[in-house]
Amino acid sequence: MAPRKKLLEGFDLHESVVMPNPSLQMEKQMIISRQYGGPYTIDELEENYDYSGTCDCTPFKFFIFLLIVAGIIVGILFSTHTLGPGFTTRGSADASNGGVGNDDFFFSTNGGFGGNGGNGGNGGNGAFSTSAPIAPDGLIDSQPNPSPIEQQKENCLNSVCVSPSCACNGKTSPPKNLNSSEIPQFVMLTFDDGLTDELDAMYTEIFTGARKNPNGCPIRSTFYVSHRFTNYYDVQKLYRARHEIASHTISHDHSGQWEKELVGQREILRNFARIPTDQMPGFRAPFLEPGGEEQWVTMARNGFKYDSTLIELNNNDPMFPYTFEYRKTTHCQIEPCPQQYSYPGIWEMPITQWNSHLNGVTDYGMADEYDPTSESDALAYFRYNFNRHFLTNRAPFNFYVHGEWVLRTPGVLNALKTFIDELLNRPEVYFVTQAQAIEWMKHPQTLANIGALDALKCNSVVPGPALCKKADRNSCVYTDPVTGNPITMVTCAECPPEFPWLGNTAGEVV
């Protein structure tokens, strides 16, 4: 439709309608105006627009036009298999070929992100959603369902709040009344921030494939990835090796834009590391500074299944993971914590403070707040804090660090490799992702029955496109929105026109 023009000289629109009741004249004129594609509000009508450059659009003709456009769109969708034979649902996907079990078709507000879906499924504990191609390289994206947000519940009772959907805050005994001596000791090794080539080389040295858990599967880790300086080819490579990838915000700053930061980074990881959205259930806030209700509402609305931000006050026995169905009763170390609503189905992987091995008093949030003086000092530090978990209640051991600390601090990398090798000699120890640890919390098993937990297996198909050849990577050069300097983004996907950033996670021209 051509733009509307101002009234031509000598033409008076108001003379074209004669109404016996002046109070209805403008309403009648509006009816005629809309039939001719003119102004649609009285304010616009009073500006006197001309219809000579518009189409003769009666409501009937406009309806026919919409039918034609709709037919064209449907034809395009069928031709690209977005509808028709190529359209699938998570519930109806073939579980033996990387899909999910049929029980996943039914909606559950407490659906999980792992489980029992056969070879490569996301299990039968998730919620129904649809899948459709979003990129020409074959990425099939599955969006997780949102979690409910409810009125705050008080007084969590262990007899009422039980697995698989609930766990009380502050609990220091294993779920299902299991004996701590009979359960596995999980070690959750996590790395924060951007993932560079230099860090990737270090991770390759740590995760050789030869380091395996007692069940024969390679050890795994969780990577909380922020955007700037991240090589998304390296991220995809880690994901294809069964490590967990999670959002750590785009800017890694105190922007306060939780929706854009938290969800936006997950979208960037999907777009450029080519990881299906529902395979990234976790989040950790930068600087371990939570966002209170705004953060948790964002997580619930967008289908995140757990957070790993909240530091728990040091006590004699470490704390087990818990859910936010009931009010958090332990002290909020860094404000603001969620206190206004209940968030059933969202878990917290608490940050148990590390102790100094030198005096047993000094506490640390992240393990890398301490600077070891030597390799032997770092190893003693690691052993001391592991024993606080292993020799007490065997709550999952949080080994949370920044990759740069391991890489740059003399002696730490060698100490870490020695520490891992020592622990792998123990039949009770499993190095797992945080998502795997939560699956055990939901379906706890003793060591004798640990083989029944599908989340710890490694024979399933990893969802998402295969990693491209290294020679086929794209190195995309942009201007850093923070410094103004050149910045490179490496990915198997096509280079977008602009550097992906807050509010523009696809890197489109704006």
In three-state secondary structure terms, 484 is coil
Chain segment 71-115, per-residue pLDDT in tens: 777 666 555 444 433 333 333 333 333 332 333 322 233 333 333
Non-local (6+) Cβ contacts of 216 within 8 A are: 458
**Residue 286 scores a pLDDT above 70:** yes
Cα 219 to Cα 431: distance, rounded to the nearest angstrom: 5
Q: What is the pLDDT of residue 316?
A: 73
Mean pLDDT of the chain: 82
Cα 403 to Cα 25: distance, rounded to the nearest angstrom: 72
Chain segment 20-68, per-residue pLDDT in tens: 344 444 444 444 444 444 544 444 444 454 434 444 555 566 677 777 8
**Residue 171 scores a pLDDT above 80:** yes
Alpha helices in 80-121, H assignment, sequence order = none
Non-local (6+) Cβ contacts of 491 within 8 A are: 232, 233, 272, 273, 473, 474, 476
Cα 439 to Cα 395: distance, rounded to the nearest angstrom: 14
Chain segment 301-354, per-residue pLDDT in tens: 999 999 999 999 876 789 999 999 999 999 999 999 999 999 999 999 999 999
Q: Torsion angle, CA of 110/236/209/204, rounded to 10 degrees?
A: -130
Q: What is the pLDDT of residue 137?
A: 65
